[in-house]
Chains A and B, each alone.
Chain A
């Protein structure tokens, strides 16, 4: 049994003036203990929505269907009260906005200790000692616990967010673009920290990013999302070297290479609107190798190698890409 399994997840958002956006369309994946999993795609493809849905954190304008199984038990089935017990205790999260994820009027120590008391993992002096340990773990002196978030730099705040996420020793850490707002050196440090900590603590990591080199560097496996759907899923190094979906291949080609001389490749066009159901393959208008079937038929995920699947007709045995 997988540690976390997400089965056929759909999310719709109600628009203020009627209509709905199908933001996540049948996404599924499984996560083993200690595994580092990447979720990749461009802005608006539903990757953040997917992980917010895992914790039941979407706003009330969202409708969610599908199952999220933690050790085989559906945590969303019992509504807000049942999912709340799993938050931070089993699944914790590091947010994108390192600047604003911390409450400006509370000391960082208070904020790190807060979930411990609430989930009953530590209180009082023990919680304080644990705050010190966590701060040291992410490379911040324990004495900084009494300071306020605005006294730290962006990179330090992201370290604080990570320390806070580790407070209740979660089994799974969801990281939503944890390095977006940071400069390259700090990005590298934070990624190294995340990799080291998941290894040391045996914690599984879901890393949401649009940065492909980051995925190959950090993750064991990754899924590529496009227009709310998962289009490819496999071992991280295979996605870079032997992608079976044209979107994945083009996405990797569009990554700047430090030593590359050529002009950067781009993917023309823009993702489809999600407020109406799409017929055929959602990537067809931008695809460089469309087939006749793509306009009318929706390609399903098919095996493309060991632990590797892709949703493209060219992925089928008779039509090698």
Chain B
């Protein structure tokens, strides 16, 4: 009963936040200098008439308030508008981009979490050993690499061995068998995913390590040892479970940002995801497209936070409000 009440309260909060984000999203890009029309019309001899015709067609001649109301109404119908550049519905364009991003970001984040948790727990358990020092230094080092720099370095080193860009081999004709396609995508994903994993796992390592050290000093860990439990069980079932609580929120926040925020990595590796789409749309002043990208980013951050709240509540019953 208490859990239902908690979920509903967090749910209402989430809906309000999404609405605020959507509103901000709309006005933010209207404040940008430049216009879609001047860009598209950057052709020889574009007449003022042509520019005017385009402005009317995109609805940019109406008042901002009218544009906003229309935007909200369309949004409720799942209509994100039509891309100025591609002349196709934004929702269709972004849906395939989102799938690609989720694949890459998912692999990158899950890999980083797995590596971070494992190395953090081991470093804490073998505290002050050579393994701990090596582990922690490596984590700090990789965590401080800028993703775009590491991406370029990996490109330079591995470009001959692994595919350097794109998501699949253009020359795999005639719908190859599934496994062949999957292997191809995996090979293309190797470098961008490695970049994401390497630049993110160190943060998890440090958080998990310090959280574990704190937890290992708790009385209930001594109780667990006194019970005669084996080390492995003490570390994972008693200590790690408690040490993971701060991780859940961190992971949710990161996931949200990775969905829309792996812009640089996606651009470097020409990965056709949301980040790439954001970059392209921004440089072309494609308002509906940028709005769509930002919408996906903000809504995923908010929704994943909502999920993290619910998960925290599930994991630790002391959590209230």
Binding site for B on A (CB under 8 A): 55, 57, 84-89, 92-93, 95, 97, 100-106, 114-115, 118-119, 148, 150, 161, 164
Contacts and interface: CB of A to CB of B under 8 A. Distances in A.
Interface string B288-321: 0000000000000000000000000001111000
B12 interface: no
Interface stretch (B3-11, B13-21, B153-161, B226-234): B226-234
B149 interface: no
B228 A119 contact: yes
Contacts of B225: 57, 87
A105 B241 contact: yes
B85 interface: no
B38 interface: no
Interface residues of B, number: 21
Contact of B228 (A97, A118, A161): A118
Given A57-B225, A148-B317, A148-B318, A100 B219 contact: yes
Nearest to A16: B128
A88 B225 CA distance: 10
Contact of B224 (A89, A92, A103, A148): A103
A149 to B, nearest CB: 9
Nearest to A87: B228
Nearest to B228: A87
B269 to A, nearest CB: 40
A95 B224 CA distance: 12
Contacts of B224: 103
Nearest to B224: A103
B227 A150 contact: no
6 contacts: A85-B228, A88-B228, A95-B223, A100-B219, A101-B219, A101-B222
Contacts of B27: none
Given A115-B228, A115-B229, A105 B222 contact: no
Interface string B32-71: 0000000000000000000000000000000000000000
Contacts of B242: 103-105
Contacts of B227: 87-88, 114-115, 118
A101 B228 contact: no
B316 A93 contact: no
A312 B228 CA distance: 39
Contacts of A114: 227, 229
B145 interface: no
Interface in B227-257: 227-230, 233, 238, 241-242, 245
B218 interface: yes
A100 B218 contact: yes
A119 B226 CA distance: 12
Contact of A93 (B218, B226, B229, B233): B226
Given A85-B228, A86-B228, A150 B220 contact: no
Nearest to B229: A118
A101 B220 contact: yes
Contacts of A55: 226
A103 B220 contact: yes
Contact of B220 (A84, A87, A88, A104): A104
Nearest to B238: A103
Nearest to B220: A103
Contacts of B218: 100
B313 to A, nearest CB: 12
B219 A89 contact: no
A85 B227 CA distance: 9
A89 B228 contact: yes
Contacts of A101: 219-220, 222-223
Contacts of A164: 223
Nearest to B230: A84
Contact of B317 (A84, A86, A100, A150): A150
Contact of B219 (A87, A95, A106, A115): A95
Given A101-B223, A115-B227, 11 more contacts: A57-B222, A84-B228, A93-B223, A101-B222, A104-B242, A105-B316, A118-B229, A118-B233, A119-B228, A148-B318, A164-B223
Nearest to A100: B219
Shortest Cβ-Cβ A-B pairs, 4 listed: A87-B228, A100-B219, A103-B220, A115-B227
Contacts of B226: 55, 57, 87-88, 92-93, 95
A97 B230 contact: no
Interface centre among B219, B226, B238, B318, by most A CB within 10 Å? B226
Interface centre among B219, B224, B238, by most A CB within 10 Å? B219
Contacts of A84: 228, 230
A148 B221 CA distance: 17
Interface centre among A84, A105, A106, by most B CB within 10 Å? A105
A234 B241 CA distance: 46
Contacts of B238: 103
Contacts of A85: 228
Contacts of B315: 105
Contacts of A102: 220, 223
Contacts of B222: 57, 95, 101
Contacts of A97: 219
Contacts of A88: 226-228
Contacts of A92: 226
A105 B224 CA distance: 13
Nearest to A165: B226
Nearest to B127: A60
B183 to A, nearest CB: 41
Nearest to A119: B228
Interface string B258-292: 00000000000000000000000000000000000
Interface in B202-220: 218-220
A150 B319 CA distance: 11
A47 to B, nearest CB: 16
